Amino acid sequence: MNHIEDDIKLAYIIAISIMMIFVIFIIVVVLMYNKRQLLHLREQQLKESEYQNQLLQKELEKQKLIEKERERISHDMHDDLGAGISALKLQAEFLKQRAENEELKNDIEELLKTSEEMNLSMREMLWSLNAGNDTLGSFIDYAKIYAQNFLKKTTIVIITESEKIIEETTISTEQRRNLFLCLKEALNNAYKHSQSNEIKLSFIQKEEEFIMKISDNGIGINNNNPEGNGLRNMKRRMQEQNGHCEITAENGTHLFFSISL
């Protein structure tokens, strides 16, 4: 009887040992499988990271080539076109001094005005092409100078203000260009149609959003033609930049242009 009980105990111990060995074997297999899966996942992540780095490097090289080409075009325009316009202006001034006919003098005066406008347009294009100007600080400084020069021969007072602007914040060339064209259109409309004597130009940064506000104290917008005077063009430009253009007419006209940075 004792012999049978000993055999049963031994069989029980052997069975438990086999089960424990089997459980340990399964645990080891699972751990090895998880380790291999983890190593495989890390390899995939490393390959993906290397691929993304290669794409980023190619994009950086592409951007460098674009910036280099922009600088070349900018220099060529400054050296060739700028020199040509200056020579044209000097020649026109020389002819004006020698001209005796008043009608001819008036024509030459128009030529001088055209050459000055061409020179101004060229400077604006050079500013647009210069990648070093792709910051909020550069855009705001240029916008203020343009507004002051545009209105200096008028009776309209220009007031500028900036709020929470981080000057080194990057802004794309297209955003900068379209915002500037909207500014030109808005100032031109205010000068021609608002009958105002004061324009306020505000620049506001709210985290990842940049807002340019142009307000005048004039007669407001014609309700019969609210989308006239270039307003459609300004809205279209902002939409193309995934931005927003809003117009209100309360105690004057107020234009809001906003873009995501």
What pLDDT does residue 50 have? 86
B/e letters for 88-123, b = 16+ CB within 10 Å, e = fewer, are bbeebeeebeeeeeeeeeeebeebbeebeebbeebe
Q: Is the pLDDT of residue 77 over 80?
A: no
β strands within the chain, DSSP E: 157-163, 198-206, 209-216, 244-248, 253-260
Q: Is the pLDDT of residue 59 over 90?
A: no
What pLDDT does residue 122 have? 78
Phi then psi for 187, rounded to 5 degrees? -65, -40
pLDDT one-digit tens code per residue, 188-238 = 999 988 899 999 999 999 988 999 999 999 988 765 555 565 788 899 999
* 143 and 201 Cβ atoms separated by less than 8 Å: yes
What pLDDT does residue 225 have? 57
φ/ψ bin of 182: left (φ > 0), alpha (ψ from -120 to 50), beta (otherwise)? alpha
* 199 and 148 Cβ atoms separated by less than 8 Å: no
* Among the ranges given (26-30, 55-59, 65-69), the one the predictor scored with the smallest mean pLDDT: 65-69
* Among the ranges given (46-50, 155-159, 183-187, 201-205), the one the predictor scored with the smallest mean pLDDT: 46-50
Where does the pLDDT of residue 43 fall: very low under 50, low under 70, confident under 90, or very high at 90 and above? confident
Residue 114, SS3 per DSSP: helix
User: Closest Cα partner for 175 from 126, 239, 124?
Assistant: 239
Q: What is the DSSP string of 74-93?
A: HHHIIIIIHHHHHHHHHHHH
- Residue 250 gets which letter from DSSP? S
Of residues 25 and 221, more confidently modeled: 25
* Among the ranges given (111-115, 140-144, 178-182), the one the predictor scored with the smallest mean pLDDT: 111-115
* First-to-final CA distance of the chain: 89
